[in-house]
Amino acid sequence: MSDPVRFDRRGAVGVITLDNPPVNALSLPLRTGLRDALAAGLDDPEIEAFVIHSAGRMFSAGADIREFDTGVAGESPTLPELIAQIEDSPKPVVVALHGTAVGGGCELPLACHARVAVPGTRIGLPEVTLGIVPGAGGTQRLPRLIGVLPALEAIVSGKPMDAERAHELGLVDELVMDGQDLVEVAVEVAERLVESGALPKARDRDDLLAEAREQPELFEQFRAKIARRARGFEAPYACIECVEAAVQRPFDEGLAFERETFVRCRSSLQSKAQRHVFFAEREARRVRGVGPDTAKLTIQRAAVLGCGTMGGGIAMCFANAGIPVRVTESEQAALDRGMEKIRGNYAATVAKGRLSAEDMESRLALIEPTLDFDSVSDADIVIEAVFEDMALKKDIFTRLDAICRPDAIMATNTSSLDVDEIAAVTSRPEQVVGLHFFSPANVMRLLEIVRGERTSPEVLSSALDLSRRIGKVGVVVGVCDAFAANRMLYPYAQQAQFLIEEGALPEQIDRVIYEFGFPMGPFGLGDLAGLDVGWRVRQHREPTRPKHLRYSSIADRLYEMGRYGQKTGKGWFRYEEGSRAPIPDPEVEQLIVRTSEELGIERRDISDEEILERCLFALVNEGARVLDEGISERASDLDLIWIYGYGFPRYRGGPMFYADSVGVDHVYATMQRFHEVHGDWLEPAPLLERLAREGGTFADWTPS
């Protein structure tokens, strides 16, 4: 490995280069090298100032997150020690930023005496997304430099800002102009500081904090503002407390408070879970048979077949990413309705102030509605998003096979049909892949990429690439009935229905699941998706159910009553005109109680704990089968599916991580108990049993 820190001289300025690929993480060897380079420069009478900059594509991604669990993060020089050394340096230290400067990679610059940046550099403190607070002075120095409210916004959202905005706010002192060299400009700034004798330090600033001291209500207001978005998360509130400490306490005390808070958060289960999700997202890009050298098709032109809710949402994903897309329908009226819906969706975003009217028009201009099926022939990717009907899909793929370019990707958005059977009607099954978007497709971040038996590595690699381009988290799964996501959803939703037959009510179950951290419970979700949709899926699945297995018919009865959910104002709950708030409905309760009677079930009080365990462990159990059957390569992929597809709370790391955290043996023993009482649906999966017996975890499981 090459040396992560180099030292060169430019006149009287010592130029320190950080070089720790791929992201210049501030790992122990880098910290040690930087400490030594600074010490050598301080000892050298010919050096009057320093410039710190980085090689590679970014300044730094911050602390090395992998060191958090090994204890190396605490080894000297720690990042706070190094940062103190920089701030206390009697010779000015100027930092030169490019690419990305986040986390510790932003905190280190905050302690320098001046900051120079290339326009477009992403600067910020994303620690909150890892379940921690910035732990190297970020919460103390940032508010001093840019003001309390902008600092709260940056730290609590974790979203980086660009260098131009950072310049406006006073975080960046100088932007590098076109044609200028970053390091040269930084050297000039360092020379000017030497000349003036100035050594400006963020810690000495108090003007912007004084303003905030006049408005003590600011923090409560901020807490109220984030309450919905941050529900259940600990770190956003810990961040606010640290910024509050910056305002109320002297610098060193504030810094100590931040450190204490950081150490506490770092060892919390929430942070472990959120770090797990960070690495899971990166791991999901590693797919069997696909390597860094696998060729991929760059998608420049897309087509979507079908402009219903799904097709329209998918077309929006392309337009949002700047990719021109054609959408087809067979009838003008359907096409008009679909385009109207797309326009309405964009207009709603404009009304919320999240999109400019101009951007809306330029996105709409990228979507070309057409009745001409053959016009999709020049697309790099065609996504079929028509009704879930095998015969129809086969017909479409036969037609596509005749007109698409030889290297075009032919994708189906089916949520349950056999991708191999669809691919088999074409002369090029290696070009066929499942791209299962989640509704609403323009909002939900999961993209289940279904690898058919013959799907080529190039097509998979292109699909993974595309998922990132359109802002989705792509997770590759194999072909099986309902794939991984919906397959795991069924036992979860099914247990919820059995529980209401046994004595619970939909509102109790939804409350328990909501309190666990999901945005809504299974009944609210059913009403949102439409009970007619669930009914149609059951028509397809039901014939395969072994008849000795229990079946709950309440959902069918609601469907027969015309209660389709939110769209009809009535489903599991009732809805007032124009509202999405579920209201318990006595009519549904009567139906449930009657059904229990008919089934001869004596209704009982059901504890919240039982509800949670029956629903969640059933889905974990199905996840274990999905892994065992090779449908998914790793448990963390299933965690991503649940976080991004169904809103499983991120701070619990996804269902498989959750199972590990409560103990696989506990999950297994509980399933065994449930199985004895409630029958075969709850039979523990062989992998769950194996892991429990061997003391294993899902995290460590690898396919044999």
Nearer to ligand 3H9, 79 or 382 (CB): 79
The least CB distance from residue 294 to ligand 3H9, in Å, is 15
Instruction: Determine how β-strand 5-10 pairs with β-strand 13-18.
Output: antiparallel
Nearer to ligand 3H9, 22 or 543 (CB): 22
- Shortest CA distance to 202 belongs to which of 314, 324, 108, 284? 108
The least CB distance from residue 468 to ligand 3H9, in Å, is 8
Query: Which residues sit opposite 583 in a β-bridge?
Result: 574
Task: Quote the tokens at residue 2.
Answer: 């090459």
Q: 316, 338 in Cβ contact below 8 A?
A: no
- Alpha carbons 287 and 282: distance in angstroms, whole number: 11
Nearer to ligand 3H9, 22 or 179 (CB): 22
The least CB distance from residue 591 to ligand 3H9, in Å, is 49
Q: How many CA atoms lie within 13 A of 90 on its CB side?
A: 6
Task: Quote the tokens at residue 218.
Answer: 């600011």
Which residue's beta carbon is nearest to the bound ligand 3H9?
103
- Alpha carbons 52 and 18: distance in angstroms, whole number: 7
Q: What SS3 class is residue 464?
A: helix
- Alpha carbons 270 and 420: distance in angstroms, whole number: 40
Nearer to ligand 3H9, 135 or 254 (CB): 135
Strand order in the sheet with 49-54: 5-10, 13-18, 49-54, 93-97, 114-117, 174-175
Nearer to ligand 3H9, 78 or 462 (CB): 78
Give how far Cα 180 sits from Cα of 70, 109, 176, 366, 553, Å: 42, 20, 6, 36, 71
Nearer to ligand 3H9, 134 or 522 (CB): 134
In one-letter notation, the amino acid at residue 414 is T
The residue annotated as part of the active site, out of 107, 234, 384, 507, is: 107
Q: 651, 265 in Cβ contact below 8 A?
A: no
In one-letter notation, the amino acid at residue 375 is S
Q: 346, 355 in Cβ contact below 8 A?
A: yes
The least CB distance from residue 641 to ligand 3H9, in Å, is 19
- Alpha carbons 564 and 257: distance in angstroms, whole number: 53
- Examine the residue annotation and report whether 127 is marked as an active-site residue of this protein: yes
Nearer to ligand 3H9, 235 or 408 (CB): 235
Per CB under 6 A, residues contacting ligand 3H9 are 22-23, 25, 61-66, 79, 100, 102-104, 107, 126-127, 130, 134-136, 138, 282
- Alpha carbons 468 and 449: distance in angstroms, whole number: 12
The least CB distance from residue 25 to ligand 3H9, in Å, is 4
- Examine the residue annotation and report whether 107 is marked as an active-site residue of this protein: yes
The residue annotated as part of the active site, out of 48, 127, 384, 448, is: 127
- Alpha carbons 676 and 427: distance in angstroms, whole number: 50
The least CB distance from residue 135 to ligand 3H9, in Å, is 3
The least CB distance from residue 259 to ligand 3H9, in Å, is 8
Structure letter (DSSP) for residue 3: -
Q: Which residues are catalytic?
A: 107, 127
